Structure 1
Amino acid sequence: MTFSSYARAFRCHSRTVIRGHVVKACRSVRGALSELLVLALYKEVSLSSTEYVLREKVTVAKKLLKYTDDPISEIYTWLIFRDQSQFLKVFKQYTGMTPKQFKSREAMTAL
């Protein structure tokens, strides 16, 4: 069974699920994310489910940092990171900079 067929079973378009809505999709099926679904996800995007979710969380964090004035403490809490230290580590791992550096860089490019 492919990830696309799971998406159809849960009445989601597979592109919607794959493009940034995995966390929402997982919540909507309330624990139905089985081992087969995780394997299908890995096969389609070549990432573990953890890596994929972290990457998507960083994508959302970048948008929040760029377009809102929300403090980092609200952003990492909203994105369900354990604490600010974990958020900073993951954000830097995926972007090469801290959230503060990212926000400063985005502010400079907006001018």
Structure 2
Amino acid sequence: MAEEVRQGGEQLRILGETERQQAEQERSQAESKRALAEDQRQKKEVQRQDAEILRSVAEDARLAAEDARQAAEVLRQTAEEVRQLQSETRAILQELRNELRRNTGV
């Protein structure tokens, strides 16, 4: 009888140890799932931030392109004004040469 009690106690001890190990495994798995969920949440946040940065960069690029277009237009207009002034200057110089020839007889 004492042997049966001892064996029963041993079985209970083994059963208790098995249940404790199982509970520890479940706790560890739950912690792993929580950590994985947190990692996924952080990755999504990083992706959201990256997307916001990309939107901002795209807007900056759009604004820079618009500024460049406007600057190109100003340069085109300035070049046209320079061409016009050069033409007017040539005409004035030609008139002065003609006037000089008339006045000097050369």
TM-score (norm 1): 0.21
Larger Rg computed on CA atoms: 2
Name the one with the larger helix percent. 2
TM-score (norm 2): 0.21
Higher RCO (CA < 8 A, seq sep 6+): 1
